[in-house]
Amino acid sequence: MDIALLALEDGSVFEGRSFGARVESSGEVVFNTGITGYQEIFTDPSYAGQIVVLTYPQIGNYGSNPADSEAVRPFIEGLVVREFSPLASNWRSEKEADAFLAEAGIPIISEVDTRKLVRHLRTRGVMRGVIATRNADAAALVEKARSIPSMAGLDLATRVSTRERYEWTEGVEPCSPSERLKPVDEIRYHVVAYDFGIKHNILRRLRYIGARVTVVPASTPAEEVLALNPDGVFLSNGPGDPEPLRYQAEQVRRLLGRKPIFGICLGHQVLGLALGGRTYKLKFGHRGVNHPVLNLLTNRVEITSHNHGFAVDPDSLNAREVELTHMNLNDQTLEGFRHRTLPAFCVQYHPEAAPGPHDSHYLFEDFAKLMDEFKRDR
């Protein structure tokens, strides 16, 4: 059995068994509480720079397949689990999860007491860590963990963004088996999507409302977006600290009022910065698929999927300009807002979530309605 170590910057060391790539890898150690959808987690660009601890004890059981990937490759830096299955038992599987991550150069440490580790991260806060799978020296790994860059102040969005503009031409298939979508009959809108780390299922949901989608790099100037003459602008999810994205926030500020805007996750934070708000780092973030969010407009609770380590400070937003629309019921953090007079709104969570939940799909329809209203008023 190959031994692997996970060393944290506070000196804690966890020993386990090595799977995946036999390499050393570092990043911020975070945890996700979802009980399914591990391949979507592996391939979500928002996890760039992060070693992910999965609290569900059995991972790898159903293998992997191309339809469940949220990007062209995995983006996590490493994986920590209680029990990892090198075999796949599912008719949809095309490759074992072990091989899927090994080919991407991502190490896995299994047989870790993940309950103890997660309790430690909840108490102390997420922290930097290193996974090593060969001839590891615990003390040296702890020092390495202390030397890697902090997530605070780190711009990862431009690192994972597309380098070239492209058109998303796929329909809604292939899609996650958690939802069956009818074919799109008519293309009614043109949406330009800023790629801060965009997920494939977001592109599918935009397509499903009848949008032709042009994906542009994170650093695209507002003037280039306007030159494409879109009906709306989408601000995607992505990794890292939103505070360094001042240039991106300035481009969004130039687009306000000129095109309808819809933001998700990092896009929510960038829109908050564009409106003069501030963001801050959460102690251990929100990562899972069962977070209760109160819709303040309808007084209904939505069960939602989350993946973020930063939040917008609601007190930093101008209440005369911005209306708060969604609030997290676990810790009262801001989960959504809209501009009172301009066509712009956003949420911190993931309404497109695959494999689910699907409580918040209506937000894409809201975006379509906003584009319709904007065209009528013009």
If the chain, 378 residues long, is cut into consecutive pieces of 10 residues, what is the mean pLDDT of each piece?
A: 92 96 96 95 97 96 93 97 93 95 97 97 97 88 95 94 92 56 81 97 94 97 98 97 97 98 98 98 96 97 96 98 98 98 97 90 97 89
CATH 3.50.30.20 fits 3-147, yes or no: yes
Quote the pLDDT of residue 350: 96
Starting at the edge strand found earlier in the chain, the sheet holding 232-235 runs 166-168, 211-217, 189-195, 232-235, 261-264, 344-347, 334-339, 322-328, 279-295, 300-312
Question: Which one of the listed residues 268, 291, 339, 350 is annotated catalytic?
Answer: 350
What residues contact 171, with CB distance under 8 A and at least 6 apart? 183, 184, 207
In one-letter notation, the amino acid at residue 7 is A
Q: Where are the alpha helices (DSSP H) in 18-113?
A: 38-42, 97-103
Cβ neighbours of residue 39 closer than 8 Å, sequence gap 6 or more? 64, 65, 68, 69, 97, 100
Annotation marks residue 173 as catalytic: no
Q: From residue 17, give the alpha-carbon distance in Å to each of 82, 133, 205, 307.
A: 10, 8, 39, 27
Q: Model pTM greater than 0.85?
A: yes
Q: 95 is written with which tokens?
A: 């490759």
Question: In this structure, what token pair is assigned to residue 308?
Answer: 């973020």
Catalytic option among 28, 40, 243, 352: 352
Q: How far are the Cα atoms of 188, 226, 341 from residue 368, in angstroms, in the given order?
A: 9, 18, 17
Task: Give residue 185's pLDDT.
Answer: 73
Determine the length of the chain. Answer: 378
Active site residue 352: yes
- Of 179, 265, 286, 306, the catalytic one is 265
- Return the exposure string of 95-110: e unless at least 16 CB atoms fall within 10 Å of the residue's CB, then b: ebbbebbbeeebbbbb
d(CA 68, CA 70): 6
Query: Who's near 3: CB < 8 A, 6+ residues apart?
Result: 15, 16, 17, 18, 133, 136
Domain boundaries, the chain: 3-147, 157-377
pLDDT of residue 179: 62
User: In terms of DSSP bridges, do strands 50-54 and 25-32 run parallel, antiparallel, or are they unpaired?
Assistant: parallel
28 is catalytic: no
- CATH code assigned to 157-377: 3.40.50.880
In this structure, are residues 76 and 49 in contact, taking their beta carbons and an 8 Å threshold?
no
Q: Give the per-residue pLDDT at 182.
A: 67
Place of tokens 């602008």: 233
pLDDT of residue 181: 66
Sign of the Cα torsion 321, 158, 235, 269 reads negative
State yes or no: cis peptide before 355, omega within 30 of 0.
yes
